[in-house]
Amino acid sequence: MSANRFEHPETAAGTGRREEAKDDRRRRIVEAARALIRETGDTGLTMRAIAARAGVSLTTPYNLYGSKRAIVIAILDDVREFHERFARSRTSDAIERIFRALSITLEYHREDPEFYRTLWGALLNPLGSDELQATLSTPQSTQFWRALLGQAAQEGALRSDIDLDMLQQDLGFAFASAMLAWVMGAFAVEELEPAIGHAYALALTAAAEPSRSPTIYKRVLEYQKRLRHTRRRAGAA
């Protein structure tokens, strides 16, 4: 029989308070790292700076996370919330799921542009940290988008002779190119979704079965109209 069944209530309460305190310190460390990246425009943070901003000892980030890379991964825990948002979208059409996933992804960029611009700057910098680039380029993300294309193919939305790996690569190039333009100041954050959506819609129109192409092509025109409107509004501001 487990001794935990006979654990004194005061002992259990003390353990619970210690875990709550640890969770609070973890939250403060992640928030501190995110704030520093946003404010400084630099991903090359030191553990000392993170600890000072979080109001904890220098050893605390090491004890709770072990490394700076682990903290960056914790910052990017948006992935968990992303999947929760995506699950609530409830669209049954595979092509629509691709565009919905893109929209949710770019919502994060609009909500916290300075943070994500800094991360993309680090990811696209050929002289950047290999460790950070490996952290940001997660295989889970690649597998997710590949699965969406696979579902579209299984549902008969995409032509059977289309190489899905090549299609995914092309979509990834379109996404990364837009991010590079944004990092360099050629795009406003509001332009990202219509610009990337337009590129996705063009590629998917070409890859779709003939019966599906007209519906996807409507998205090309919608994104085109939206992008023009966004740019006119920015020019008038």
DSSP annotation of 45 reads -
Q: Is 206 in contact with 174 (CB distance < 8 Å)?
A: no
Instruction: Give residue 140's pLDDT.
Output: 52
d(CA 34, CA 27): 11
Domain count for the chain, please give it: 2
pLDDT one-digit tens code per residue, 156-165:
999 999 999 9
Q: Token match 């990202």: residue?
A: 192
pLDDT one-digit tens code per residue, 197-207:
999 999 999 99
Q: Are residues 62 and 107 in the same domain?
A: no
Q: Are residues 48 and 36 in the same domain?
A: yes
Last residue of a domain, one of 75, 90, 112: 75
Q: For residue 195, what are the contacts with CB-CB under 8 A and spacing of at least 6?
A: 178, 181, 187, 223, 227
DSSP annotation of 14 reads H
Would you tell me the crossing angle of helices 9-40 and 68-75 to the nearest 10 degrees? 90
Q: Token match 């950047």: residue?
A: 128
Give residue 232's region: left, alpha or beta (phi > 0; psi -120 to 50): alpha
Q: Are residues 131 and 194 in the same domain?
A: yes
Last residue of a domain, one of 44, 75, 106: 75
Q: Are residues 44 and 20 in the same domain?
A: yes
Q: Are residues 113 and 161 in the same domain?
A: yes
pTM, whole model, 2 decimals? 0.76
pLDDT confidence band for 185 (50 / 70 / 90)? very high
Q: Are residues 227 and 117 in the same domain?
A: yes
pLDDT one-digit tens code per residue, 42-81:
767 789 999 999 999 999 999 999 887 788 777 766 556 7
The domain in which residue 93 lies consists of 78-236
Quick one: average pLDDT of 147-161?
Answer: 96
User: Domain of 93: which CATH number?
Assistant: 1.10.357
Last residue of a domain, one of 20, 46, 75: 75
Q: CB atoms < 10 A from the CB of 194, how many? A: 21
